[in-house]
Chain A
């Protein structure tokens, strides 16, 4: 059995005296998609930021299985290494694509940026990759030289996904990737993500308040409440046979998924 790709132990982050994340531990294995569900303010996004090297936790460690050096504490490595990981082995898909895209450069350049950041210096190859990813995320390749500012929200989100996946990250963090979209666009994007996760064997942590998103995409689900993980397990287990009072409330409050 391989070592976990990500192993979180006792992770705590406080804002003042309030713990947004309280003593959280879990493992993620390669090829797994993990959903973190819970209501607004439950600490999901703080957790994601602590995991992805954006927010230093007050306690605990986040061990990431690197390609060359085995498991390394994300918050013990140099900032240079952490930032290098963030643009090579990790992806981060923001809820609002505007936070994850450059709206003043073309869709193609947005997708190609990570390749250039890791040293690609052949324009033709970069463009070829960008074009291939445009079609993988079901965007019209004819529009690769247009600015994503002129794209719809769903299209922007797909550019953001391509921009992240182009460097073949081993772990993708997603913060409510479908939250701002119309229902029909949401369904299409979810299906796209599901397909990509299957085809690429993606490992991902998806923060969502939408249980249907967890049901569709995630193998496992963590339920967060007041900064703590109150329940975790196989997604269908957690949603069909919730054990904890809070999970039961969450599941019974949701529209059928």
Chain B
């Protein structure tokens, strides 16, 4: 399981063109190359505007890219998320990538427990097993059980973020993308998240994360990868 490469980003370029501002061109990533193996946790570092979140979003195919590749090993086949067909992207997201965004995009009327169960059901886990695992995750992240059956729209920011984390880890995907997972959390919950990341590494996941909190970063990262802002003329 070790030394098995799961992520391979090669000379990736990404810029935004703002058509409403006279076609202003904003370069964000320029020739970024990075790979990660099973069991690794790579902490993406760099100042504000260096493109850390953008890198994760490109790998998740949430953002499109202009050049280079962002490949993920999906069921032992390399898929380039930058050029894959929509259906392939969806399959990779379902089976291979767990993405914890900075904010939970709530779906009206869906209960917290169901949100956490959804990725497990999507990969064909039994409802009973999924429910049990979702409950365990919510307990570990200190979500009071009275909240489980409620839609998270009215939860606090920290509670919503913990639902988001539980969902990302639920189906134990081989590739994890974490965008500041501990930003809004207290010490106890930070500890729980650190433990979840370590478990993911132990089971052989490759983790790519953005961690502002140095203590968290030091506790989980196996190495750092620094991004530098791209000069506007690049």
Contacts and interface: CB of A to CB of B under 8 A. Distances in A.
A29 B87 contact: yes
A233 B108 contact: no
Contacts of B63: 237, 240-241
Interface residues of A, number: 22
Nearest to B151: A191
Nearest to A241: B63
Interface stretch (B12-20, B129-137, B159-167, B196-204): B12-20
A220 B86 contact: yes
B108 A191 contact: yes
B107 A233 contact: no
B90 A188 contact: no
A252 interface: yes
B89 interface: yes
Given A32-B87, A219-B86, A233-B64, A191 B107 contact: yes
A56 B9 CA distance: 47
Contacts of A73: none
A187 B107 CA distance: 9
A137 B59 CA distance: 38
B61 interface: yes
A66 to B, nearest CB: 21
B110 interface: yes
Contacts, number: 47
Contact of B20 (A190, A243, A248): A248
Contact of A240 (B57, B89, B109): B57
The interface residues of chain A, by DSSP majority, are classed as helix
B62 interface: yes
Given A219-B90, A233-B86, A248-B19, A187 B64 contact: no
A236 interface: yes
Contact of A243 (B61, B62, B64): B64
Given A241-B64, A243-B64, A234 B109 contact: no
B86 A244 contact: no
A216 interface: yes
Contacts of B62: 234, 236-237, 240-241
Nearest to B93: A234
Contacts of A194: 107
Nearest to A246: B19
Contacts of A219: 86, 90
Contact of B90 (A187, A190, A191, A234): A234
A191, A241, A248 interface centre (most CB from chain B within 10 Å): A241
Contacts of B18: 248
Contacts of A150: none
A43 B138 CA distance: 46
B179 to A, nearest CB: 13
Contacts of A220: 86
Nearest to A239: B62
Contacts of A216: 107
A248 to B, nearest CB: 5
Contacts of A32: 87
Given A219-B90, A234-B89, A249-B20, A191 B109 contact: yes
A226 to B, nearest CB: 16
A245 interface: yes
Contacts of A237: 61-64
Given A190-B108, A248-B18, 5 more contacts: A32-B87, A187-B108, A188-B108, A241-B16, A249-B19
Interface of B: 16-20, 57, 61-64, 86-87, 89-90, 107-110
11 contacts: A187-B108, A188-B109, A191-B108, A216-B107, A220-B86, A233-B64, A237-B61, A237-B62, A241-B16, A243-B17, A252-B20
